[in-house]
Structure 1
Amino acid sequence: MKASVYYGKNDIRFEDLPVPEIEDGDILLKMKSCGLCGTDIHKALHQTVTGPVVLGHEVAAEVVKVGRRVTRFQPGDRVVTAIHVPCYSCHYCDRGHFTLCEQFKPTHIEPGGFAEYIRLPELHVKHLTHKIPDGVSWEKAAMVEPIGCCLHGLKQAAITSGCSVLVMGSGTIGLLSAQLSAMMGASTVIVSDLSTFKLDLALRLGIDHAINPAQENLEARIGEITDGLGVDVVVIAAGVSALLPQAINLLRRGGRVVVFSPFDHHNMVSIDAGRFFRDEISVIGTYSLSSYEMPEAVEIVRKNRIKLDEMITHCYPLSRLGEAIEFASNPDNDVLKVIMQMDE
């Protein structure tokens, strides 16, 4: 089978690999679409993984073979899946912190999403894999996993009817989070970004306000929009730790900051710590998704509750993964979500 294999920075090779062998509880998939995630780009450019390795995890695929014990799926089914599975019985799982489970990160699909064929281990088949609803395209189906990640983070924000939400960063995760916030009942949704293209796209998606902090004073604009009270929730969807102090300053009393994007290790920032006691604010971290968000995300896509077609700006054949990463990472390009597909 063909796969795009990451060996190192600027070294991704489209080459032949053996088709994975499945066991009795596994299924074999033929990849149809796989989203290019910001973490894939970060790993490739900053060499945070050691090659050779097949990246990719936002998978929409066709079932081509099932193990003897598999009863929920059969060849020909269209499915979506995700990459990590918790144990559901440890200290963290018992408290609902599934993504902190020691089993979570070591679990993987084989060899990765950027491959022609993918083996889903039994745990993934049991807990993370769902049929794609009729009428949903392969491209939109590949958005289920990132939607699930955003749902996981927004649940920590406790968004209620009438909330105001600021999303800092208008990439794929930022614009998904903004749309989902409105879906959850937020009455005012604001995004900020330095990209005119992404801000214009946000407005076309129905976001209330789009602010470029290089051209406007973000704190002043938030003050105008919220009558000087600040926002109830800030979602940081850009990996810039300097955004955290600003996010805290933009909060209303009792507000919450959700840190979605990874910050660099040991990157220290100064914040107004007095606000935690004085104003009962909260800062919450979030990572990945649990199996409980996957079916919710499938339903959101099935019911067209958010706009996805406008967010998918480019599709590339799998053989051109390196080119896709270079294009998507260039801030001068008008690009949001890139979907990889098998070469015809």
Structure 2
Amino acid sequence: MMQAAVYRGVDDVRIEQVETPEIAAGEVLLRVEACGICGTDLKKIHTGSHSAPRVFGHETAGTVIAVGEGVTAFAPGDRAMVFHHIPCGHCYYCRKKTFAQCPVYKKVGVTAAYEPSGGGFAQYVRVMDWIVERGLVRVPDGIPFEQAAFIEPVNTCLKAIKNLALEADETVLVIGQGPIGIILAALAARTGAKVLTSDLYAERHAVAAGYGLSHPIDAAREDVVARAHAETEGRGVDAAIVAVAGDPLIKVAMNATRCGGRVLLFAQTQHGDAPIDPAAICMDEKALIGSYSASVEIQDEGAALVFEGYRNGFDLTGLISHRFALADAVEAIDLASHPVADSMKIFILPQQQPGSEAGKR
């Protein structure tokens, strides 16, 4: 038996004992060393979008404990990070490189128990064969498991930045400086573009500054749209990214963007009826685009960025504000669900002893 944080219904997560998963041919059993809490995990817990029971958690890194028959690329003791979605590679959507819409991609290939749902909020996960083949990433010695667990979110952010096709003479506005907003802004800055960052909290701007982001906008006191125009000779930014799940911010992003510019929605993963000015898209020629989930096409590039970045100014463990043992996962989920100024990325460390929560940086 093993411990897991089991989703039992809307706003109902319980620490329970479940059977340690058994693996079959081609599969791997991974001991979870670190798992970040993602906003999509929280959305599922709070909206009841998925049936219960399940074990969520998909930003997962750990140690290979056992391998099934036929597995030759990994052995017990290897350190690895796992993607929970991997596309088939040959369907219509894969041919169009819209991998997140592939029917196989929509299947989850990592589980701790019950319906496969990532399973990282548990001591062990079973990694299914198609994920082992293309979605299990070896982690070099010297790279902390916490850093490796960022590979999946970094991939999603890198995909978004590539979709924007930023150029070095452009200015981009990133609305929201939580962990994802900071990663998006830092990756945007690597293109040579000037990056404006907007957030309500000075504490988050302070963290962002550690990643080279030097053009903060205090959204609690400043007019974000006015500042975006002031920074661009009155035109508006060339591109804006909405990294906060607040539909009213779509209008802010559209108004802050120049005619002919691009607005990318990253955090708007709930269907709804957000108001959009059609003339801004038609007459002002502003492009409204989206980016969702990871891309297998940039998997190696994203992993290398995380590994090399740990030693070269892109240490993502600096985004972690709180670490919790698995026994305290309910508290961790509650904190992540109600962020405050000094809470950033929340991690669950299943091998950590209860009561040893590390607190703030």
TM-score by length of 1: 0.94
Distance 1:248 1:178 in 2: 18
Q: Is the CA contact 2:34–2:149 (under 8 Å) kept in the aligned structure 1?
A: yes
Change (3 A) 1:234 1:307: farther
Q: 1:300 aligns with which of 291, 300, 305?
A: 305
Deviation at 1:136, TM superposition (A): 0.9
Partner of residue 291 from structure 1, selected from 282, 290, 296: 296
Aligned to 1:250: 256
Moved more, 230-239 or 257-266: 257-266
Q: Deviations over 1:228-268 (max 9, x none)?
A: 12111111111111222221221123321111112542323
The alignment partner of 1:162 has SS state of coil
Cα distance in structure 2, aligned partners of 1:11 and 1:277: 45
- Cα deviation code 1:190-222 (max 9, x no counterpart): 111222321222223221222132311111111
Supply the distance in 1 between the matched residues of 2:301 and 2:315 (Cα, whole angstroms). 16
Q: Which runs of 5+ in 1 are unaligned?
A: none
* Cα shift at 1:75: 0.9
Residue 102 (structure 1) shift: 1.8
What is the CA distance between 1:333 and its match in structure 2? 5.0
Does residue 201 of the first structure (1) align with residue 207 of the second (2)?
A: yes
Where does residue 135 of structure 2 map in the other structure? 128
Tell me which residue corresponds to 1:35. 36
User: Which residue identity lines up with residue 243 of structure 1 in the other structure?
Assistant: L
Report the residue type matching 2:31 in the other structure. Answer: K
Structure 1 residue 20 and structure 2 residue 36: aligned? Answer: no
The residue that corresponds to 1:56 in the other structure is: 57
Task: List aligned pairs for 1:254-273, cutoff 5 A.
Answer: 254-271=260-277, 273=278
Q: State the SS of the aligned residue for 2:61.
A: strand
Counterpart residue number, 2:287: 282
Q: Give yes or no for contact 1:165–1:231 (8 Å, CA) kept in 2.
A: yes
1:241/1:267 contact within 8 Å kept: no
Q: What CA distance in whole angstroms lies between the structure 2 residues aligned with 1:333 and 1:46?
A: 24
The structural deviation recorded for 1:184 is: 2.5
Structure 2: runs of 5 or more not aligned: 113-118, 354-361
Letter in 2 for 1:22: I
Q: CA deviation at 1:120?
A: 0.7
Residue 87 of structure 1, CA deviation: 1.5
Identity rate of aligned residues, in percent?
A: 37
Contact 1:85–1:103, Cα closer than 8 Å, also in 2: yes
Runs of 4+ in structure 1 over 6 Å off: none
What is the root-mean-square deviation in Å for CA atoms of aligned residues?
Answer: 1.7
Q: Which moved more, 1:225-234 or 1:301-310?
A: 301-310
Query: For 1:44 and 1:180, how far apart are their aligned partners in 2?
Result: 29
Q: 1:137-179 deviations in whole A, cap 9, x for unaligned?
A: 1111111111011111111101222321111111111111001
The secondary structure found in structure 1 opposite 2:43 is helix
- TM-score w.r.t. the length of structure 2 is 0.90
CA contact (8 A) 2:29 2:125 kept: yes
Contact 1:159 1:181 in 2 (8 A): yes
Q: Does 1:314 align with 2:322?
A: yes
What displacement does 1:332 show? 3.2
Cα pair 1:313 1:336 within 8 Å, conserved? yes
Task: Return the letter of the residue paired with 2:89.
Answer: Y
Equivalent in the alignment of 2:116: none
